[in-house]
């Protein structure tokens, strides 16, 4: 009986959804504050720096690749949008949200870091993609030395921002050092310094 229920839930989780789109959003001059509270200010500044390259808009948490926004954030949108430029032109990508998570990456990292992840024996295919959960998953992922082979927070405290960006560029190509970059890539170390100053000032206020 359990296997039958599990199969039904799995099929339900994979069924296509009709997405309601909200249209494009405006670009902003500086990455917005995070929705989550607390955390390491150096990691928080890094998260905002990543979003400068990936989703620097007035509504980043709803952003799909290409600029459209999705209304429903109860789960990852899982909408495959055609890539229009770069080395992967013609393929499609499910990148979504402030950190442009692919569906598969979100499912994997949500299982590791989502605050509402289930007990080991529970079936779970549809973790919430609400803004605070996007932030929390990325924060705890970046703050896990085992995930990256280095202690990113410690490197940031030592001022090794470019080394961190290079380490992460395989996951977020807009950070540079890989097959793609964008107009923001060269500015990211300076943006990180600005974001860190804001985050540290927030601790003192």
**Tens-level pLDDT at each residue, the chain (205 residues):** 333 334 333 433 444 556 787 877 888 989 999 999 999 999 999 999 999 999 999 999 999 998 899 999 999 999 998 878 767 777 889 999 999 999 999 999 999 999 988 776 677 778 999 999 999 999 999 999 999 999 999 999 999 999 999 999 999 988 987 666 566 778 999 999 999 999 999 887 6
Predicted pLDDT at 1:
37
How far is the C-alpha of 75 from the C-alpha of 97, rounded, in Å? 11
How far is the C-alpha of 204 from the C-alpha of 145, rounded, in Å? 27
How far is the C-alpha of 167 from the C-alpha of 84, rounded, in Å? 26
Boundaries of every domain in the chain? 19-204
Predicted pLDDT at 5:
34
Q: What is the pTM of this model?
A: 0.86
70 sits in which H/E element? strand 68-70
What helix, strand, coil percent values describe the chain, rounded to 5? 45, 10, 45
Predicted pLDDT at 118:
76
Predicted pLDDT at 88:
72
Can you give the length of the chain in residues?
Answer: 205
**Per CATH, the architecture of 19-204 is what?**
Orthogonal Bundle (1.10)
Contact 167, 150 (CB under 8 A): yes
User: Which letter, b or e, does each residue of 75-109 get, where b requires 16 or more Cβ atoms within 10 Å of its Cβ?
Assistant: bbbbbebebeeeeeeeeebbbbbbbbbbbebbbeb
Q: In angstroms, what CA-CA distances link 191 with 31, 195, 196, 198?
A: 9, 6, 9, 11
Predicted pLDDT at 31:
95
How far is the C-alpha of 27 from the C-alpha of 121, rounded, in Å? 43
Predicted pLDDT at 121:
66
Predicted pLDDT at 149:
96
């Amino acid at each position: 009986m359990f296997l039958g229920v599990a199969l039904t839930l799995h099929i339900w989780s994979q069924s296509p959804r009709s997405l309601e789109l909200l249209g494009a959003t405006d670009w902003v001059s500086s990455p917005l504050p995070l929705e989550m509270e607390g955390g390491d200010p150096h990691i928080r500044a890094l998260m905002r720096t990543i979003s400068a390259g990936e989703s620097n808009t007035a509504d980043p948490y709803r952003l799909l690749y290409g600029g459209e926004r999705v209304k429903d954030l109860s789960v990852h949108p899982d909408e495959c949008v055609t890539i229009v430029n770069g080395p992967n032109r013609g393929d499609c990508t499910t990148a979504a949200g402030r950190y442009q998570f692919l569906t598969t990456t979100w499912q994997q990292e949500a299982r590791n870091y989502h605050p509402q992840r289930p007990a080991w024996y529970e079936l779970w295919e549809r973790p919430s993609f609400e803004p605070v959960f996007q932030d929390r998953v990325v924060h705890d992922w970046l703050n896990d030395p085992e995930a990256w082979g280095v202690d990113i927070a410690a490197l940031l405290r030592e001022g090794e921002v470019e080394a961190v960006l290079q380490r992460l560029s395989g996951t977020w190509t807009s950070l540079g050092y890989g097959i793609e970059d964008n107009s923001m890539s060269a500015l990211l170390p300076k943006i990180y310094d600005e974001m860190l100053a804001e985050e540290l000032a927030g601790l003192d206020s």
